[in-house]
């Protein structure tokens, strides 16, 4: 992938000049979940538009900036807003920030999203630890020349979300009295929501939640050797589960309702990562 190494070096250098520090943990904040970034102390916030080689986010509910600083005594960087495939970004752009995380020396990635509940035992407002995923986006960010600086041509994905980190996530939930679901996240391209027939299909193949993000970032993170922990906020029941139709407003309203619980959980997980090493 000609030029990627140079671009990453330039982006990293720009952020070093901004005194971004050396984060160990990166957090990608999904739709409506950006509030966690406000808990970061001594923050250095850099809007995506200022960062060399960064795309610009377009979706409502996404602030579009990187925030560097400390959370629970740990050095972190948070992405407030991500790049979606459905916005028209190619997979290289969608995952550029994850390549950057590796370049900056990040070890752990906490990836979050808003998702529809496919498992009928779920309720909107539930938080789900991602155990595994199914990629139905019709594309893979690792296609094309292998970026061998960061990882192998055929990366293993048999433990994309390591059990050790999921156990840490569960302990954080227990410690705060926040019940957690656990399940499989299916990624589709969007932007249309699914049909009821597609949701029956997703359930049949083992999905518990569905969304339009996360999997590209997790593929690249695994390629680059980052350890990933994923959390879905179930913002709505998927199409056909209930009689009502789906809309983005419901997604944002549920995210708004759970944002404190969600932020507390992620902060507790970050604290746990500090002692897990």
Tokens, residue 271: 């604290």
Among 33, 104, 210, 273, contact with ligand HPA (rule: CB under 6 A)? 210
Q: Which of 214, 227, 235, 263 binds ligand HPA (CB under 6 A)?
A: 235
Dihedral angle sign, alpha carbons of residues 158, 161, 167, 173: negative
Pairing of strands 74-80, 25-29: parallel
Our finding on whether 8 is near ligand HPA (CB under 6 A) is: no
Query: In angstroms, rounded to a whole number, what is the distance separating the alpha carbons of residues 37 and 109?
Result: 15
Residue 227 binding ligand HPA, by CB under 6 A: no
Q: Mind spelling out the 3-state secondary structure of 197-240?
A: HHHHHHHHCCCCEEECCCHHHHHHHHHCCCEEEEEEEEEEECCC
Residues 243-272 that bind ligand HPA (CB under 6 A): 246, 251
Whichever of 116 and 216 has its CB closer to ligand HPA, that residue is: 116
Containing H/E element for 258?
Answer: helix 248-276
C-alpha distances (whole Å) from 145 to each of 2, 3, 214 are 9, 12, 22
* CA gap 41, 128 in Å, rounded: 27
What amino acid positions are annotated as catalytic residues? 31, 62, 84, 86-87, 114, 212-213, 236, 248
In the complex, the smallest distance separating the C-beta of residue 36 from ligand HPA, rounded to whole angstroms, is 18
Q: Which residue is nearest to ligand HPA (CB)?
A: 116
Q: Between residue 107 and residue 166, which ones bind ligand HPA under the rule CB under 6 A?
A: 114-116
- In whole angstroms, how close is the CB of 209 to ligand HPA at the nearest point? 8
Size, binding site for ligand HPA by CB under 6 A = 13
Contacts (CB under 6 A) with ligand HPA, residues 162-201: 193-194
Could you list the residues that contact ligand HPA (CB under 6 A)? 114-116, 193-194, 210-212, 235-236, 238, 246, 251
């Amino acid at each position: 992938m000609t030029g990627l190494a140079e671009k990453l070096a330039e982006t990293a250098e720009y952020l070093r000049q901004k005194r971004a520090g050396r984060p160990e943990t990166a957090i990608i904040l999904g739709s409506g979940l950006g509030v966690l970034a406000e808990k970061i102390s001594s923050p250095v916030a850099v809007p995506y538009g200022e960062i060399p080689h960064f795309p610009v986010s377009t979706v409502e509910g996404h602030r579009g900036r990187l925030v560097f600083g400390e959370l629970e005594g740990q050095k972190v960087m948070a992405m407030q807003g991500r790049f979606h495939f459905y916005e028209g970004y190619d997979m290289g752009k969608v995952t550029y920030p994850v390549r950057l995380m590796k370049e900056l020396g990040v070890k752990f990635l906490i990836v979050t999203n808003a998702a529809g509940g496919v498992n009928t035992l779920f309720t909107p407002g539930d938080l789900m630890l991602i155990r595994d995923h199914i990629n139905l986006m019709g594309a893979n960010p690792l296609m094309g020349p292998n970026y061998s600086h960061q990882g192998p041509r055929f990366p293993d994905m048999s433990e994309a979300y390591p059990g050790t980190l999921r156990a840490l996530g569960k302990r954080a939930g227990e410690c705060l009295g926040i019940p957690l679901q656990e399940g499989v996240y299916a990624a589709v391209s969007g932007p249309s929501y699914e049909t009821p027939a597609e949701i029956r299909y997703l359930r049949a193949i083992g999905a518990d939640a569905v969304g339009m993000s996360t999997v590209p970032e997790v593929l690249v993170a695994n390629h680059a050797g980052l350890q990933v922990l994923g959390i879905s906020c179930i913002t709505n029941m998927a199409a056909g589960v209930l009689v009502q139709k789906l809309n983005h407003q419901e997604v944002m309203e549920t995210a708004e309702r759970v944002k404190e619980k969600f932020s507390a959980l992620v902060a507790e997980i970050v604290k746990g990562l500090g002692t897990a090493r």
